[in-house]
A and B are shown apart, each in its own frame.
Chain A
């Protein structure tokens, strides 16, 4: 059996502020398979960016991993030293692309320099060789006449082209995983589609898995293989993308879908989820979604711990609806065992690269 490219287990992240602790990521577990595009969706403030930066250990100074593992190959990223992370992981094995391409590049150096310094940081190549690779990277992300543009400064590129440059830098050392945190939010709609196409293209032609963070379910439908749904620091459901749309498991996923305009089928009315997301400084007990949930099935929803992970078709879902002990009407589900997770059974294996 192939091992997944990235395995996150019981990850917990806490921000410490003057007066409070913010439990921004709570016991999150998921795998990213080789060569898949894994989407992470959720409302603003649910912890998507926190989760993404935790993987590369780029949390703000007041953020801390308070539990869990992040396995990539033989490494546990949660326990690695800064020096090792910089040498082995960041930019080499795992790269990251941020939301705003206008602020991701150093304005006073040419993009060539910013590309070449990345390549020379990780690969033992000569300047000329690095330059050649840099040109190739730019060509790979669809920048016209890359050789001439190497000596241009970031401000000389349009927003979309700038995001391509950022992606070129991120991919310049052929990482195994690319984390893109809302990479199209700051761009025009037409440009957004181009960048998404580029990501799909990269995923198909390079051996690069992608974690795509977005709050746009339409984007997920278009490019992702599987998707994780986050709510208030919890990953409440991980499902193949068609399951999420056709047969969502978690009540939150269902509500979330109902709250977005459906362009393809004009059937259901647009409904807004009642209530507001909880304050993560004092999250609700039990399932964090219970105050807004329409399907509360047991006392445990309100007073228990957060639900375990249950397997349901090809999905993993954290909801007491799927626990026979708490929801007598339900039978046939099973807790997820380690080593027998989502994805490994359902998604086709595309070769073991690690």
Chain B
């Protein structure tokens, strides 16, 4: 099987995934107890008023009908009207999505450029000072909760040193420099956690690879350590790390909610939280759908990259 055939196959398989995800998301959202009409009107609203609103929103219809209604809209990019924002869901989500995406991409960029080299150096100098140092960084990173490190960063770098703004968001289209200045502390906070996982994975994967017999054979062929490391060990040891990075990348978008709250960033995570509290069904559905799609797409991307790097994967599929 050629690689493009594999890609096509995986893309085709993505269509039923989308469909399944949409059904799941729809029912999940409607299982949450509490009526949006009550949320909108307050608990002291009259029964008639509630029913009136529910009829207006189409909530009196049976669930399958509501689903078909909603999903046929989704297919043409219409995610419905948000109750709480008084506007169409799609553009609201798009805005929020790109804010979160920037945060996630920056985090990924920074954390990978730290974790991958650090993991490699640690593996090459197993049980040395560098190794213990990086292990320390890793353990600290995963054990300090985000809400704590975020607040500490604000206290030191924003309040204390005034290097960066305390919170808030500026769109990159408005002022790129200000945008980045606002992104530094949130990125740093998220990076702390992300670094640990990728670094430890990179380290153990590199150690395992360097112990492989083919590395010894490469040495026996007269290849220099540098060619062995960069020409063979790196690619082999990076493949398992990609899976981990992919998972991180997938989770981060929704996982950013705490950081978005701390730094008052109008991202997707925050929006979902608001929407759930408001019983804003269309907005919740839309954002959960988006998150699920994002996760599936990242997963697909990960698989495609791995299949491109590791020729054995396609063989197993075939």
Contact yes or no, A98 B216, CB < 8 A: yes
CB under 8 Å from chain A, chain B span 261-313? 309-312
- In this assembly, does B58 line the interface, its C-beta being within 8 Å of a C-beta of chain A? no
- In this assembly, does A250 line the interface, its C-beta being within 8 Å of a C-beta of chain B? no
When the two chains form the complex, which single residue of A98, A100, A103, A108 contacts B235, counting CB atoms closer than 8 Å?
A108
Instruction: Decide yes or no: A117 and B227 within 8 Å by CB, A104-B213, A106-B236 being known contacts.
Output: yes
Q: List residues of chain B with CB within 8 A of the CB of A170.
A: 220-221
CA gap between A92 and B220 in the complex, in Å: 10
Distance to closest chain A CB from B80 (angstroms): 47
CA gap between A95 and B216 in the complex, in Å: 12
Q: When each residue 96-136 of chain B gets 1 if its CB lies under 8 Å from chain A and 0 otherwise, what string results?
A: 00000000000000000000000000000000000000000
Instruction: Decide yes or no: A100 and B213 within 8 Å by CB, A108-B239, A117-B231 being known contacts.
Output: yes
Q: Which residue of A lies closest to B224 (CB)?
A: A86
Range class of the B interface residue count: 20 to 34
- In this assembly, does A118 line the interface, its C-beta being within 8 Å of a C-beta of chain B? yes
Contact yes or no, A91 B222, CB < 8 A: yes
Contact yes or no, B217 A98, CB < 8 A: yes
Contact yes or no, A105 B217, CB < 8 A: yes
Distance to closest chain B CB from A170 (angstroms): 8
Contact yes or no, B217 A92, CB < 8 A: no
CB under 8 Å from chain B, chain A span 137-187? 153, 155-156, 166, 169-170
Q: Which residue of A lies closest to B310 (CB)?
A: A108
Query: Which one of A87, A90, A106 has the highest number of Cβ atoms from chain B below 10 Å of its Cβ?
Result: A106
- In this assembly, does B218 line the interface, its C-beta being within 8 Å of a C-beta of chain A? yes
- In this assembly, does A133 line the interface, its C-beta being within 8 Å of a C-beta of chain B? no
- In this assembly, does B315 line the interface, its C-beta being within 8 Å of a C-beta of chain A? yes
Q: List residues of chain B with CB within 8 A of the CB of A169.
A: 217, 221
- In this assembly, does B2 line the interface, its C-beta being within 8 Å of a C-beta of chain A? no
- In this assembly, does A89 line the interface, its C-beta being within 8 Å of a C-beta of chain B? yes
Q: Which residue of B lies closest to A56 (CB)?
A: B220
Q: When each residue 195-231 of chain A gets 1 if its CB lies under 8 Å from chain B and 0 otherwise, what string results?
A: 0000000000000000000000000000000000000
CB under 8 Å from chain B, chain A span 111-132? 117-118, 121-122
CB under 8 Å from chain A, chain B span 219-268? 219-224, 227, 231-232, 235-236, 239
Q: When each residue 195-223 of chain B gets 1 if its CB lies under 8 Å from chain A and 0 otherwise, what string results?
A: 00000000000000000111011111111
Q: When each residue 68-104 of chain A gets 1 if its CB lies under 8 Å from chain B and 0 otherwise, what string results?
A: 0000000000000000011101111001101010011
Contact yes or no, B232 A104, CB < 8 A: no
- In this assembly, does A109 line the interface, its C-beta being within 8 Å of a C-beta of chain B? yes
Contact yes or no, B220 A90, CB < 8 A: yes
Can you show 23 pairs from A to B with CB atoms below 8 A apart? A58-B216, A86-B219, A90-B221, A91-B220, A91-B221, A91-B223, A92-B222, A95-B221, A98-B213, A103-B214, A104-B217, A108-B239, A108-B310, A109-B232, A109-B235, A117-B221, A117-B227, A117-B231, A118-B222, A155-B312, A156-B315, A169-B217, A170-B220
- List A residues at the B interface (Cβ < 8 Å): 56, 58, 85-87, 89-92, 95-96, 98, 100, 103-109, 117-118, 121-122, 153, 155-156, 166, 169-170
List 19 other contacts, CB 8 Å, given A58-B219, A58-B220, A108-B236.
A56-B220, A90-B221, A91-B222, A91-B223, A98-B213, A103-B212, A103-B213, A104-B214, A105-B217, A106-B232, A108-B309, A108-B310, A108-B312, A121-B222, A122-B222, A156-B315, A166-B217, A169-B217, A170-B221
